[in-house]
Chains A and B, each alone.
Chain A
Amino acid sequence: MIHTFTVVGRQFVDGLEPPYVVAMVELDEAPGVRLIANIVGSAPDDVRIGAAVRGVFQVLDAEVGLLDFELVRDESSVA
């Protein structure tokens, strides 16, 4: 679930072009743990606090990947 988020409108780091969404995601399976991640696959304006999300992996190469999240309405597989 999205605990909070921000829509970034300006470039802050090399290698990531705005706009993008950064969120703190809480996991049902690990209370008290929050992950910083990008919310991908939807328009930034659709992101809401409290929205259910599902993890998706962005594979950079054979050894490095990033965990992103996407909005879901299917409650069977939410984080």
Chain B
Amino acid sequence: MSTGGIGGRVSIVGTGYSEVGRDTGRTEGSLAVEAALAALDDAGLGAAEVDGLAVYPDRVSDPFEGPTIGYLHHALGLGELSWWQAFGTGPAQLAPLLQAVYAIAGGGADVVLVVRAHVRQRNPFYVAGGRAAAENPSGALAFRAPYGAPGGAPRLAMWAQRYLHVYGRTDADLAAVVLQCRDNAQRNPRAAWYGKPLTEAEYYASPHIATPFRIVDCDYPVDGAVAVVLTRADRAADLERPVQIESIGHASGPSIEWELWPDLTSMASAQTAAQLWSSTSITPAEVDVAEIYDGFSWLTLAWLEDLGFCDRGDAGDFVASGATRLDGRLPICTDGGQLGAGRLHGLGKVATAARQLRGQAERWQVSHPEVALACAGGGSMAGALLMTV
């Protein structure tokens, strides 16, 4: 598979966060502007230099809603753009960043601002189920919502259950991921679970939300925005501490429909990883820090295996061994991840990885990393990128 020779042609030059919290009382637009301005400031660039804008989530095609791209363009005072796009789906919420890489590499834009902004849903039942869903079938949801599995936890729980069954593993594997994320979050004052560590006993006492997932196996919905500034590598050379994008992956795997996926023990992360590694000479052993997706604890295990960091069925042991702790050989979810710091979708992973490489990771800084990986997604949605300094 091809990623079109991206290697070294596009750089990350700035990242920024908004306030992140359970109940900020703010709008998506306000959070988006705060993160975008912070990212531009971090990059040493002004709004006048931005000629590309990519936003996730859009307001129409995804269960998650963000600000309109039109609002953001206006609120930031951006000028005429060479390229712009709002995204609702695609490779795992990393679509806006991955497509921005292509836009820059293909000459369609020079400086692209990528923003993820979201205010958590206050209504837990935003999808109709049962009889209401059966009587008003809507797209692919018609096959899931009437049975109470619209998406998220129940849907991925079935993958995790199959994985545990096939490899003879237990929920101790899931616990290892959650406990590490909550532990890392204790270093990050921006983390949703900062000051609230989790013990093993508390993990097992947490109620099942959809077996094998307990509620603490699910990432923590928060209000928040994160932004990343990308530019051409030659232009980035004039800026401070640019991060080079070495390779990217965004493959679908054999089925975009999750329910028809042949082998539920691995995800599109397998095909995406193959694409990622096929376009670089860097090997998994050379990765210094990996911001592995943890929308649900099991996704982290699947990604670790699909990326080749450990053998099939061994990810739980790999995490429990301490290999993925901040002082281990492959630190993951260094800021606490989505399980410990809060859900910022894939772009939070990219920002965290870039900040590690730029030496900006505060109390969760890994010692002098030179190669970082960020990935996001579950099921047939997967996106990943490998970065270097």
Interface residues of A (CB under 8 A from B): 3-16, 18, 20, 22-24, 32-38, 49, 60-61, 64-66
Q: Across the interface, name the chain B residue whose C-beta is closest to A20.
A: B148
Residue on A nearest B143 in the bound complex, by CB? A36
Partner of A64, one of B135, B157, B211: B135
Does B96 lie at the interface of the complex (its beta carbon under 8 Å from any beta carbon of A)?
no
Contact flag A6-B157 (CB < 8 Å), given A22-B149, A33-B260, A36-B144 = yes
1/0 per residue, CB under 8 A from A, across B111-137: the answer is 000000000000011011111111100
Question: With a CB–CB cut-off of 8 A, which chain A residues contact B145?
Answer: 13
B210 x A9 contact (CB < 8 A): yes
List the A side residues contacting B148 at CB < 8 Å: 8, 12-13, 16, 18, 20, 22, 38
Q: Are B158 and A15 in contact (CB under 8 A)?
A: no
Residues of A within 8 A of B154 (CB): 6, 8, 12, 22
Q: A16 touching B130 by the CB < 8 A rule?
A: yes
Contact of B161 with A6 in the complex, beta carbons under 8 Å: yes
Q: Is the CB of B130 within 8 A of A10?
A: no
Q: Which residue of A lies closest to B158 (CB)?
A: A4
Most buried by A among B135, B149, B150, B264: B149
Q: Is the interface of B mostly helix, strand, loop or mixed?
A: helix
The answer to the question of B146 belonging to the interface, with a C-beta cut-off of 8 Å to chain A, is yes
Sample of 6 A–B contacts (CB below 8 Å): A6-B157, A11-B124, A12-B150, A15-B128, A15-B133, A16-B147
Does B4 interact with chain A (Cβ within 8 Å)? no
Interface of chain A, main secondary structure: strand
Q: Which of B130, B162, B211, B213 contacts A13 (CB 8 A)?
A: B130
- The answer to whether A66 touches B146 (Cβ under 8 A) is yes
Q: Check if B310 is an interface residue, CB within 8 A of chain A.
A: no
Asked whether A9 and B209 contact (CB < 8 A) given A36-B144, A60-B134, the answer is: yes
Kindly list chain A residues whose C-beta atoms are within 8 Å of the C-beta of B213. 6
CB distance from A3 to the nearest CB of B (A): 7
B161 touches A13 (CB 8 A): no
Q: How far is the CA of A13 from the CA of B165 in the complex (A)?
A: 27
Q: How far is the CA of A23 from the CA of B208 in the complex (A)?
A: 16
Which A residues are in CB contact (< 8 Å) with B131?
Answer: 15, 60, 64
| Structural contact, A38 and B147, CB atoms closer than 8 A | yes
Are A6 and B210 within 8 A (Cβ)?
yes
The answer to whether B259 touches A4, judged by C-beta atoms less than 8 angstroms apart, is no
Interchain CB contact (< 8 A) of B211 among A6, A11, A37: A6
Q: In the assembled complex, which residues on chain B have CB atoms less than 8 Å from the CB atom of A36?
A: 143-144, 147, 149, 259
Interface presence of B207 (CB below 8 A): yes
* Complex-state Cα separation, A13 to B161, whole angstroms: 21
B215 touching A66, Cβ below 8 Å? no
Residues of B within 8 A of A12 (CB): 124-125, 127, 129, 148-150, 152-154, 210
- Taking a contact as CB atoms closer than 8 A, the residue among A4, A7, A15, A32 that contacts B208 in the complex is A7
Q: How far is the CA of A66 from the CA of B145 in the complex (A)?
A: 11
Task: Other than A3-B162, A10-B207, A66-B147, give 5 A-B pairs with Cβ distance below 8 A.
Answer: A6-B211, A6-B212, A11-B124, A12-B127, A12-B129
Knowing A10-B215, A64-B134, A64-B135, say if A5 contacts B158 (CB, 8 Å). yes
Q: How far is the CB of A68 from chain B (nearest CB, A)?
A: 8
**Counting CB contacts under 8 A, is B159 at the interface?**
yes
A61: chain B residues at CB < 8 Å are: 135
